[in-house]
Amino acid sequence: MKSFTRYLEFNTSKRIEIVHINPEVEKIVKESKIKEGFALVSSLHVTSAVIVNENDPNLHSDFLAVLERLAPFKASYKHNVSDDNAAAHIWRHLLGNQALLPITNGKLELGVWGQVFYCEFDGQRKKRVLVKVIGE
């Protein structure tokens, strides 16, 4: 079994932002030359998530609206004494910080509409995402 590791690095321009990273993940899978295995895509920040879903801005707005209802940013949180990002930490756990993606015949297998996204909930600075490809 082989492994191949790369990092995506980028700056987010908004505090809350959903970034389409599927093309970059596909390039890394191709570069790995692994034909059968998995790609682990993991956020290296505690206020962000990685998801697989449709590339539909309306759906992304719906996600954010539901998260805001479940854990409002302006609510009173004990963590917000020194920071104001407790909701961002909660949102991350609701969506998950990583995705394990199957690779078949050297390509991501995400279904018809599946795409990979980085979801930032406390942004406007440099961010890193680990992509680790494992297989044969």
Q: What is the pLDDT of residues 30-72, one digit of tens each?
A: 999 999 999 999 999 999 999 999 999 999 999 999 999 999 9
Question: What percent of the chain lies above the pLDDT cut of 90?
Answer: 96
Question: Which run of H or E residues covers position 6?
Answer: strand 2-11
Structure token digits, residue 103: 């690779």
Mean pLDDT of the chain, nearest integer: 96
Residue-level pLDDT at 129: 98
Question: Tell me, what DSSP letter sits at residue 75?
Answer: S
Report yes or no: 115 and 4 within 8 Å, Cβ to Cβ: no
CA distance linking residue 4 with residue 31, whole number of Å: 9
Q: What is the pLDDT of residue 21?
A: 98
Long-range contacts of 57-66 (CB under 8 A, 24+ apart): 60/18, 60/117, 63/18, 63/95, 63/119, 64/16, 64/18
| Class of residue 127 by CB neighbours under 10 A (exposed 0-12, middle 13-18, buried 19+) | buried
pLDDT > 70: what percent of the chain? 100
Using 50, 70 and 90 to split pLDDT, how confident is the model at 85? very high
Domains in the chain: ranges and CATH: 2-75+82-135 (2.60.120.460)
Model pTM score: 0.95
Are 77 and 87 within 8 A, CB to CB?
Answer: yes
Could you tell me which of 57, 50, 38, 47 has the C-alpha nearest to residue 8?
A: 50
Is the predicted pLDDT of residue 82 greater than 90, yes or no? no
